[in-house]
Amino acid sequence: GAVVSQHPSWVICKSGTSVKIECRSLDFQATTMFWYRQFPKQSLMLMATSNEGSKATYEQGVEKDKFLINHASLTLSTLTVTSAHPEDSSFYICSAQDSLYGYTFGSGTRLTVV
């Protein structure tokens, strides 16, 4: 089946620094990738939809300048959390949509901002 690789799996950073999370589709081309955030014991909240070669579409309430999304190729999308603060600490998961397998999720990245 389809595989989506997400790195890093966990990261600890200092407040004010930026963190980049990568999401790769390993055996298929993903025109569209999605980024979710999940707080402890809560649901996955869609942050943005990333389309290859174009600007991401952000959900209401998600700061575009804070969560930079780049989808430069059909197999790679990145999420950069800029000027991270402790309230940005969360579990971030990407998902890629494939016509054959539907939605395939990455393994997630646990971000802790100290």
Q: Which stretches of the chain bind another protein, using CB under 8 A?
A: 32, 34, 36, 42-46, 49, 59-60, 91, 93, 95, 97, 102-103, 105-108, 110
**Residue 16 CB, nearest distance to another protein (Å)?**
26
Quote the CA–CA distance of 80 and 65 in Å, as a whole number.
Answer: 10
Nearer to another protein, 34 or 67 (CB): 34
Are the CB atoms for 14 and 114 separated by under 8 Å? yes
49-54 long-range contacts (CB < 8 A, ≥24 apart) are 50/77
**Residue 83 CB, nearest distance to another protein (Å)?**
26
